[in-house]
Structures are given as structure tokens and as C-alpha cells.
Amino acid sequence: MLDDRKLDVLRAIVEDYVQSQEPVGSKALVERHSLGVSPATVRNDMAVLEEEGFITQPHTSAGRIPTDKGYRLFVDKLTDVKPLTGAEKRAIATFLEGAVDLDDVVHRSVRLLAQLTQQVAIVQYPTLSRSTVRHVEVVTLTTARLLLVLITSSGRVEQRVIELAKQIDDETVGELRARLNTAVVGQALTDAAARVTSLPEAFHRDDKAVVTQVVAAFAAAVADDRSDEKVAIGGTANLVRFGEDFDRSIKPLLEALEEHVVLLRLLGEATSPSLVTVRIGHEVPHAQLAATSVIASGYGPDKQSLANLGVVGPTRMDYPGSMAAVNAVARYVSQILSDA
Amino acid sequence: MLDDRKLDVLRAIVEDYVQSQEPVGSKALVERHSLGVSPATVRNDMAVLEEEGFITQPHTSAGRIPTDKGYRLFVDKLTDVKPLTGAEKRAIATFLEGAVDLDDVVHRSVRLLAQLTQQVAIVQYPTLSRSTVRHVEVVTLTTARLLLVLITSSGRVEQRVIELAKQIDDETVGELRARLNTAVVGQALTDAAARVTSLPEAFHRDDKAVVTQVVAAFAAAVADDRSDEKVAIGGTANLVRFGEDFDRSIKPLLEALEEHVVLLRLLGEATSPSLVTVRIGHEVPHAQLAATSVIASGYGPDKQSLANLGVVGPTRMDYPGSMAAVNAVARYVSQILSDA
DNA sequence: CATTGGCACTCGAATAGCGTGAGTGCCAAG
DNA sequence: CTTGGCACTCACGCTATTCGAGTGCCAATG
């Protein structure tokens, strides 16, 4: 049904439309791309492509624009991930390598991604639920107030202030710290809570109550769902580039950006690192973002994915370029995390 | 020159314009406000107000809108901070009191502020330079890699991974931790670097090199200017409410929101807590934001200010309400920080 | 039979003309 | 000083009209 030339035409339409943001006509197509046929032939092909639902015309006397289905075919079959230039790769490396801690990595990544793609970038913080415990620290603030600090393998630091019902002496704190660490360091956070339930038993009965309190706080901290919702957003200013249909594209997107839970659903289930997923228009799991596409990838050390990152923009976007950028940043971040 | 009635007229113009977002005419004014005079009289007053530069007309046959100077007079002389309702106060309290750590406080504040004012809210993290050291922790990751964790009085946690040139044993780490804490806990971060320079001298010569390295990392961490640039932003979606003159108001604002350094300049020099400053239009220290106003306040425990928070929006905003919200949130946050 | 040039047709966008009315400024009277 | 009256201005909205890019169809062609 769709011979090679028709696919060429579709590709040309997508490329031109992405660049010009205007419906593309048969004449302009043959001028800009050397298709080797006349506009009339292209028109015939276009008619078929439209019948098949890959392109559409906004109004009768205008050119064609790709449909979601058209973009989908383009992404799946008609294009490859555009390799980054050496300069881009170097830029990524130098931009990310100065990072001083996890927060820094995340923020640099989001800025970098926004700059590379000229779109809105989103980076999810490494999820606690897929991390392991690197260290637990118990700090005495006052005699009746402790600070619990949890450091994960991915570099995240969670802290909780605990108001104790009863005083606790430094010696007990030291023992508690040691036992906590022995029990959970290296363990997955999802298992950590279970590992500490029996800890209070080892303590003198006078201290059991406070220790139980600390253990409970620790268990609550590692189980806190909200911690997995942490994301960084950047490049919002890039929204202005497609300011035409404000209400249809920018407004819902700005609103979605405020809702971190929505964003995480957009990024989707974590895929394995260096596997970029693309969701186009209606495929995006959020009804208000039907004019939006999402390009996402998991990232994390090793094979498993710790969290997701990606970009969000109008369906009319540079897919090859954005996919390459997302892929590259995900890989670099993964590498940095496995170093650290 | 400006008698009471003229001021009443100005106030009425500001209030109406802020609400309707449309130029207000003499007739509509006397209808909506009981000024007790005829439209003709109001017109005369308006002529004077315009001559003095407090109001202007966008075009000849339209009503008047306030100038920056008009808003300034309104804010300074014609209105008081609108007291919050009991319900609002309660909402603030309950919304903020569930916060579990500093990050949580900041994020909740920014959301709250955005919701209360229906504008873009900005909260600067407590500056390191005005905090004191609460605790320093040195964690052994591997024999040649340490994690330095710095916890400040305001609840901020900074961490640095240090690749050691030489191994270090647990005992030395323990001593280092103890000496570090003795030297700097309770000290201002600005002084902390100086307090640790002589630390290496106390160690065995074999360890001096590594200790010096750690001390240097510590000094670098407390002196890191970039840490003072940390801000949280919320309510960006509220920008859509004034979507008319997109290029003039939204675009530059979105761009400014990406530049944290610019934002901090907007929030301005830290004022003492519970003292709200208002910058209107051209008074804002950023040429591109001439159509924007900023309402900001310092916050922090005690009398001194740790950092700033505020809202940003079009000059045509609800000043009394926003000032009240900013003030209230700043006070509540201050209170929470002094508790914690 | 796919391809092509020709041609009539469609319809959105841009332009121009026009009427309407909110709002003003001025003035003379109270 | 205030007020009603009145002429004037000018942005906004409406309709009419033109213009042209782009299409679909068809007959001719290799």
C-alpha cells in the first residue's frame, strides 16, 4: 500500500512541518526535497497518506500536517536517532562532570536537556524504593531531639527531626547508630523497614521506648511515597517558542508541570537505561496533553533503572534530535551515578 | 494638589482595574463606588491625576489605567495590608505544619503562596552564609572515599564526596569527625572555614595530607556561593491568567524564572522578617520585567533574615491581598524554622 | 499504469470600509 | 467647585471583498 516514495513523502512532510510549523504543500515539497517527481504525483501520494490517516489538512485549501499516527510511523520506521556531534558530546560531559552532589547532577541535567532540545525538560530524582541504604546517621540536637539522616546509594539524603518522648544519652545514640547501620547498610530501602523492627529488643528496657520511636521514624522515612515524586523541571521558557495556540498547548502543559504526579505518569514506567520511549499526542496518558509528546528514558547505574528523565513538547517536535539528547543525557547521568 | 476625593478616585481606579483588567471610565466609577459626585467631577479629577502622572489612558477614547507611580501611591498611602481571614490563617498553619524537613517546608510554602495569591511564588532556601553549623558528619564510603555531610541550623544538608589521595582508617575518621564538630558546631558558616584551617596540625603526620584534603573540601562547601542561589518556584500555571499580551508579560517572566540569579535580585536585599517590600514595574531591577511587580519579604528565626520569599506578577495585581499572604507565609515559615 | 501538466475550484487570511458606542474634554450654568 | 450638556475621538467589531496557496480531477503521455 505504502511504497517507498510515499514513505519518503511522509518523511519530508514531517521534517518540513517540524521546521516551518506550517502546513506543507505539494509544490514546496518537491522544491525543498529532491523527490524526482512532479507536484501532481506528490499530491496523489498525499491523498493516499491522508486516506490511511497519516496526514491531514487543517482546512481544505491548506497543505498537510502529520497526524499522531504519522509521527508514530516516522519515529518507528522513517528515522534513526540522530547521532550527536562530538562537540555536543563534549559539552554534555563537561557540563555534567563538575557536579558536586546529587542535587547538582539533577539540576545540571535538567538544564542541559532543556538547552539541547530547546524544550521543557524533566528529571526525576532517583527513587528511594529502588535504592539501597548507604549510611544512616543519628545526630543529637538536644537531649530530647534527634536528627535522623539517611543517605542512599544514589546520593539522596533524607532527614527527619524526631521529638523524643524521653531523653536519650549519647552512649545509647552511638549504639543505636551502630546497630541501625549494621542492620540496613547495603539493603534495599524497601526491605530496610523490616530489618529494623526487632532492633529495640537489644536495648535496655529504659531505652526501648525511644529506640522504638526512632525505628518507627526510620521506617516511615524509607516508606514515604512522596519522596519518589521528587522531580526537577527546566526549560519552561522554551514554551514561548510555540506561543501561537496558547490555550491549547501551553496552558495545559504549564498546569501539568505543577502536578508532579502527572509528570511522573508522563515519564512512564521506568524503562531500562538507554532505551528511549516516545509517546505522541493521544498516546500521552493525560487527556489535556493531546497536543503534546513525551520523550523519556530511564537512567541509573547498572542495568536497572533508578528513575526517569525526558522532555515534553508539542507533537510537532524534532524527534530524532530530542531522542538523541535524552538518550545521551540518560547515559551520562547513569555513568556519573555509578561512579559516585 | 491632591485632595482626599482625588485619592479616593485613584484608589477606586486601581481597585476596579485590578479586578476587571480593563480601563475604567468615569461613569463606571461613580456607579460602582459611591463617591457622591457626578461623572463630570470625576473626569476633572482624573485629568489632574493624569497630569500628575498617576494614571494614563491607553488611547484617547478609552478609560484610565494606573501608572507605576499610581500603584506606588496606592500601595504606600491608600491601602493597608488586608488582614487574612481566620480560615486562611488556619489553612496556612495546617498546610505548613505537616512539613517533614526543610525541603518540604520550602516546597509547601511555595505552593501555598502560589495558591493564596494566584501568582508565581518564589522561595529562596535559607542562605548558608547566614546560617550556623549544626553538625558535621564524615562517613566512610570506601577506604579511599569519604562523604562529608554538613547540616546547618536552618535544616539544610550539604554533602560532598571526597576522593582521597591516600587511605584513611576508621579511627582517624572518628577523630576527624570529633575535631571538626568541636571546631565549628554553632559557628557561622562564614567563619567555619577559618576555624578548621589549623585542624590538620593535631593529627599524626601520616594523616595530615588526607585531613588537609577533607578540611579543604569542607571549606569549599561552606564557601560555595552557588548554594545561596537555591530557590523553589511555584504557580507558574497562574501565568496563564494574564495571557493577553503574551510577549510583553509572560515571555520575559518565564525567561527570568529560569535564571535563579535574576530571581534573587528580584527578591532583593533581605529585609527583616515581617517587613514586606513592594517593587512596582520599572522599580523592579530587571529591565525586561517592566510590566511586573514583586512582593517580597525576608524570613528566618529571630529578628534576622535568613532568606527571602515572595510573589511575582503583573503590575496589575491585588497588592493588599498579596502583601498579606506574603507577610503571613513569611511569618509562619519563620516560626517553623525557629522551632526546628 | 504510473506520471504529469493543465485547470477549475475552495476557502482561509489579509485588507478595507463602516457603524457603533464608550469615554473624553470643554463650556456654560448653577 | 460642581454639574449637565454636547461635540469629538477612536478602538473595536462587523461585513464585504480580494487574493492566492493548495487541492482534486482529468486527459494526455511514455
- For residue range B19-65, list pLDDT tens digits in order: 999 999 999 999 999 999 999 999 999 999 999 999 999 999 899 99
Both ends of chain A: CA-CA distance in Å? Answer: 53
B98 — pLDDT class (breaks 50, 70, 90): confident
Q: Which of B159, B224, B243 sits opposite A157 (nearest CB)?
A: B159
Per the DSSP assignment, residues forming a β-bridge with A287 are none
Enter the C-alpha cell of residue B78: 491608600
B87 — pLDDT class (breaks 50, 70, 90): very high
Q: Give the H/E segment covering residue A67.
A: none
Q: Which residues of chain A have a CB within 8 Å of the CB of B246?
A: 240, 243, 246
Residue A95 CA, nucleotide C30 C1', distance (Å):
79
Name the residue closest to D2, CA to C1'.
Answer: B41
Footprint of strand D on the protein (CB under 7 A): A 23-28, 39-40, 43, 46-47, 50, 57, 60-64; B 5, 36-38, 40-41, 44, 59-62
Query: Nearest nucleotide, C1' to the C-alpha of A62?
Result: D22
Task: Give the pLDDT confidence score for residue B117 in this predicted structure.
Answer: 97
With b for 16 or more beta-carbon neighbours within 10 A and e for fewer, the A279-300 pattern comes to: bbbeebebeebebbbbbbbbbb
Q: Which residues of chain A have a CB within 8 Å of the CB of B155?
A: 159, 161
Beta strand B276-280 with B307-314 is: unpaired
Q: Give the H/E segment covering residue B338.
A: helix B319-339
- The Cα–Cα gap between B131 and B185 comes to 11
Cα A172 to Cα A143, A214, B136, B185, B332: the distances in Å are 12, 12, 20, 21, 35
Alpha carbons within 13 angstroms on the beta-carbon side of residue B138 total: 28
Enter the C-alpha cell of residue B4: 482626599
Residue A61 CA, nucleotide C9 C1', distance (Å):
10
Residue B29 CA, nucleotide D7 C1', distance (Å):
23
Q: What angle do CA B335, B337, B340 make, to 5 degrees?
A: 115
Closest chain B residue to A139, measured at CA? B135
Q: Which of B101, B139, B254 sits opposite A135 (nearest CB)?
A: B139
**Looking at CA atoms only, how far is residue B266 from chain A in angstroms?**
18
- CB-contacted nucleotides of strand D (7 Å): 2-5, 8-11, 20-26
- Is residue B126 a contact partner of residue B227, using CB atoms and an 8 Å limit? no
Residue B240 pLDDT > 90:
no
Q: If 0-12 CB within 10 Å is exposed, 13-18 middle and 19+ buried, where does residue B26 land?
A: buried
Q: Which residues of chain B have a CB within 8 Å of the CB of A239?
A: 254
- CB-contacted nucleotides of strand C (7 Å): 3-6, 10-12, 21-27
Residues 6+ apart with CB under 8 A from A64: A13, A23, A24, A25, A46, A49, A50, A55, A56, A57
Whether residue A224 lies within 8 A of chain B, CB to CB, comes out as yes
- Residue contact A251–B240, C-beta within 8 A: yes
Please spell the DSSP secondary structure of A163-213, one letter per residue.
Answer: E-SS---HHHHHHHHHHHHHHHBTSBHHHHHHHHTTGGGGS-HHHHHHHHH
Cα A117 to Cα A12, A73, A255, A266, B287: the distances in Å are 21, 21, 21, 18, 28
Alpha carbons within 13 angstroms on the beta-carbon side of residue A131 total: 25
Q: Which residues of chain A have a CB within 8 Å of the CB of B257?
A: 236-237
Residues 6+ apart with CB under 8 A from A172: A203, A204, A207, A210, A211
Enter the C-alpha cell of residue A192: 530496610
- Residue contact A240–B257, C-beta within 8 A: no
Q: Which residues of chain B have a CB within 8 Å of the CB of A312?
A: none
Residues 6+ apart with CB under 8 A from A50: A56, A57, A64
- The Cα–Cα gap between B13 and A47 comes to 58
H helix intervals, chain A = 4-20, 26-32, 39-51, 68-73, 86-97, 102-117, 170-184, 189-196, 205-223, 251-258, 260-267, 319-339
B132-191 residues touching A, CB cutoff 8 A: 134-135, 137, 139, 141, 147, 149, 151, 155, 157-161
B140 — pLDDT class (breaks 50, 70, 90): confident
- The Cα–Cα gap between A69 and A14 comes to 11
Q: Which residues of chain B have a CB within 8 Å of the CB of A236?
A: 236, 254, 257-258
Whether the full predicted model's pTM is greater than 0.85, yes or no, is: yes
Q: Which residues of chain B have a CB within 8 Å of the CB of A141?
A: 134-135
**Looking at CA atoms only, how far is residue A255 from chain B in angstroms?**
5
Beta strand A231-234 with A157-163 is: unpaired
- The Cα–Cα gap between B219 and B235 comes to 36
Question: Which residues in chain A show pLDDT less than 70?
Answer: 242-248, 270-274, 340
Name the residue closest to D1, CA to C1'.
Answer: B41
H helix intervals, B224-258 = 251-258
Alpha carbons within 13 angstroms on the beta-carbon side of residue B251 total: 12
To the nearest whole number, what is the mean pLDDT of chain B? Answer: 92
Task: Give the pLDDT confidence score for residue A250 in this predicted structure.
Answer: 82
Whether residue A225 lies within 8 A of chain B, CB to CB, comes out as no
Residue A46 CA, nucleotide C9 C1', distance (Å):
19
Closest chain B residue to A107, measured at CA? B230
3-class DSSP state for residue A296?
strand
In terms of Cα–Cα distance, which of B278, B273, B277, B263 is closest to B333?
B273
- Is residue B326 a contact partner of residue B117, using CB atoms and an 8 Å limit? yes
Whether residue A96 lies within 8 A of chain B, CB to CB, comes out as no
Which is higher by pLDDT, B304 or A148?
A148
In degrees rounded to 5, what are phi and psi of residue A26? -65, -40
Q: State how far Cα A247 lies from the chain centre.
A: 25
Residue B23 CA, nucleotide D1 C1', distance (Å):
27
- Residue contact B101–A160, C-beta within 8 A: yes
Q: How confident is the model over B196-217, as pLDDT tens digits?
A: 999 999 898 888 999 999 999 9
- The Cα–Cα gap between A131 and A298 comes to 14
In terms of Cα–Cα distance, which of A226, A235, A229 is closest to A310?
A235
B280 — pLDDT class (breaks 50, 70, 90): very high
B3 — pLDDT class (breaks 50, 70, 90): very high
- The Cα–Cα gap between A44 and A50 comes to 10
Enter the C-alpha cell of residue A22: 506550517
